[in-house]
């Protein structure tokens, strides 16, 4: 169970310049780098996945974490795919961009499998661990291979990525809706009204 101080700390951590422990710029006044934004998103996804694996998490905490994961993963993947599409014309990075897009599709499939399983079951835990591994592997691949290649082969285009990604991610989030918790009684009533 969270204490009030834990919740305040969590809120401060997620809303300050040190969200998820990653400074937003190397020095105050410097623009945010694309790598920093990706690391922040990947860290937030890992946090939500860790919450989903907490054996003492309440139903409310699980719903909140799952919703945060669903919204964050969807907005991140869509925004990244859109802004990195401009690099497909550069043969030296085209394959790396495709690998990233494939990783996002695998993560979305794993999320769908997780959502379709019952929370707290072995299948739920296995699927959450699998998704966490996919997110971790994807983050490592981007940091070690994709981003260095983008910087090397198109430094000017790379410099503009942070702003484009942040804008597109916000646009994607604006189009998504949080989940609404439904009870069986609500579903039964809706079914009865539809008949």
pLDDT value at residue 8? 34
Ranges of the chain whose pLDDT falls below 70: 1-31, 180-191, 194-195
The C-alpha atoms of residue 84 and residue 97 are separated, in whole angstroms, by: 7
The C-alpha atoms of residue 124 and residue 113 are separated, in whole angstroms, by: 9
Over residues 121-168, the pLDDT tens digits come to 899 899 999 999 999 999 999 999 999 999 999 999 998 999 999 999
Rg (CA), the chain: 19
């Amino acid at each position: 169970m969270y204490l009030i101080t834990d919740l305040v700390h969590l809120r401060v951590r997620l809303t300050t310049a040190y969200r998820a422990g990653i400074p937003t710029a190397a020095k105050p006044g410097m623009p945010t780098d694309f790598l920093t934004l990706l690391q922040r998103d990947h860290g937030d996804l890992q946090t939500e996945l860790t919450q989903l694996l907490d054996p003492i998490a309440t139903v409310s905490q699980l719903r909140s974490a799952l919703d945060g994961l669903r919204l964050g993963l969807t907005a991140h993947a869509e925004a990244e795919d859109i802004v990195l599409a401009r690099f497909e014309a550069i043969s030296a990075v085209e394959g790396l961009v495709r690998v990233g897009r494939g990783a996002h599709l695998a993560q979305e499939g794993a999320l769908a499998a997780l959502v379709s399983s019952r929370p707290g079951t072995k299948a739920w835990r296995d699927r959450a661990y699998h998704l966490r591994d996919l997110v971790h592997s994807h983050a490592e691949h981007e940091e070690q291979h994709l981003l260095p290649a983008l910087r090397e082969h198109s430094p000017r285009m790379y410099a503009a990525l942070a702003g484009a990604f942040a804008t597109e991610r916000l646009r994607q989030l604006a189009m998504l809706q949080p989940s609404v918790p439904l009870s069986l009684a609500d579903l039964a009533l809706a079914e009865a009204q539809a008949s």
